Amino acid sequence: MSTIPTTPEAPSSPHGAAARRGPLRAGERVQLTDEKGRMSTITLTPGGAFHTHKGFLQHDLLIGASEGIILENTTGQLYQALRPLLSDFVLSMPRGAAVVYPKDAGQIVTMADIYPGARVVEAGVGSGALSISLLRAVGDAGYLHSFERREEFADIARGNVETIFGGPHPAWQITLGDFQQQVVEHEEPGSVDRVVLDMLAPWECLDAVATVLAAGGVWISYVATVTQLSRTAEAIREDGRFTEPEAWESMVRGWHLEGLAVRPDHRMVAHTGFLLTTRRLADGATGFSPKRRPSKTGFSEEDLNAWTPRAVGERDVSDKRLRRVARDAASTIQRGSLPPEEAQARRDALADSAGEE
């Protein structure tokens, strides 16, 4: 019996993929690396030039060229031109709050098992660094609902997300307000697959998480201090609706590679935060108690004050600075990823919202 071969219909390109392929275009961000490994990120502009104390490089030589091209500037200095990777973009994008480092975002996506099509909620959007990684993981057919208390941070995050994806992502929506109040109003009980919290007091969200998270769903929290980690873990144990929490931190150390001179780098990305995971049990089930319990599980007033924003090193950010960063994020939306009129309209809308009191 013979079968007639068929050609499956090609799936539509994932959102933002077009901006990562093909020749370099006007409006794109390009990373230039010189012969000493120094990197500079520029936005390609017709007629523009990249200037250093050792000459300049015309943007027009890059526009329309293949990614990975190597060019000389006016004094013979060599540069390789590549589109920035996600890790490069996150560490250089406009920000109003500290970003989740790529090493932690990668751990969150993997250890929380964020998969294509998953329904995910997150709180503490900040500058949108983690949101970008979560959107890449859930894909166009997935769902990410982000909750942010400050409108200025939401504006910055929108600008950064639209820059990396070339426009609004179809799987993303953002809501202003407190997570524990808003999530139960917007999400049905047991309808969420994964919860990701990046906030100072995740234990305050226990009931909200337990309400919206499906049985077997994963809750992962990112916290900065040991006190936050301990209190969150103890609250989860006492609640009884979740599995025994697990916690860890990751550290990244690069290596120097030059002939036989192979050694660890002198600098490394060490502690940035702790990650804690647990899973939702079925309704009516009670979590196992650990065989060993710490001698002290109570928290003194001194302990509770240890996780205030000022105590964990967060600096107060003025509203004026946040509005300026929001305008910067809006201005980085790639002109090459959208029709010029639409791209300009999005930048104007973000700039207007950032300037409103």
**What pLDDT is attached to residue 304?**
61
**What pLDDT is attached to residue 296?**
60
Q: Which residues contact 103 (CB under 8 A, 6 or more apart)?
A: 250, 252, 269, 272
Strand partners, 81: 32
**What pLDDT is attached to residue 8?**
36
Mean per-residue pLDDT, 185-199: 97
Say if residues 273 and 222 touch (Cβ distance below 8 Å).
Answer: yes
Phi, psi of 331 (to 5 degrees): -75, -15
Confidence class for position 141, pLDDT limits 50, 70, 90: very high
Closest of 334, 191, 110, 60 to residue 347, by C-alpha = 334
Decide: helix, strand or coil at residue 44: coil
| Residue 131 tokens, joined | 């949101």
pLDDT at 182 over 80: yes
Confidence class for position 228, pLDDT limits 50, 70, 90: very high
Helix ranges (DSSP H) in the chain: 86-92, 102-111, 129-138, 151-165, 179-186, 206-212, 226-239, 301-305, 319-331, 340-355
Mean pLDDT of the chain: 86
Least confident of 70-84, 165-179, 235-249, 317-331: 317-331
| Residue 303 tokens, joined | 């302990």
Mean per-residue pLDDT, 225-230: 94
Give, as one character, the DSSP assignment of residue 269. Answer: B
Mean per-residue pLDDT, 241-260: 94
**What pLDDT is attached to residue 254?**
93
**What pLDDT is attached to residue 320?**
76
**What pLDDT is attached to residue 7?**
36
pLDDT at 348 over 50: yes
pTM: 0.80
> pLDDT tens for residues 20-32?
889 999 988 899 9
Closest of 276, 316, 312, 356 to residue 97, by C-alpha = 316
pLDDT at 295 over 60: no
**What pLDDT is attached to residue 191?**
97
Query: How many residues comprise the chain?
Result: 357
Closest of 61, 68, 79, 89 to residue 21, by C-alpha = 68
| Residue 310 tokens, joined | 């000022």
pLDDT at 2 over 50: no
Strand partners, 31: 41, 82
**What pLDDT is attached to residue 181?**
94
pLDDT at 56 over 90: yes
pLDDT at 5 over 50: no
**What pLDDT is attached to residue 15?**
83
d(CA 161, CA 131): 8
| Residue 218 tokens, joined | 């994963």
Place of tokens 């370099």: 24
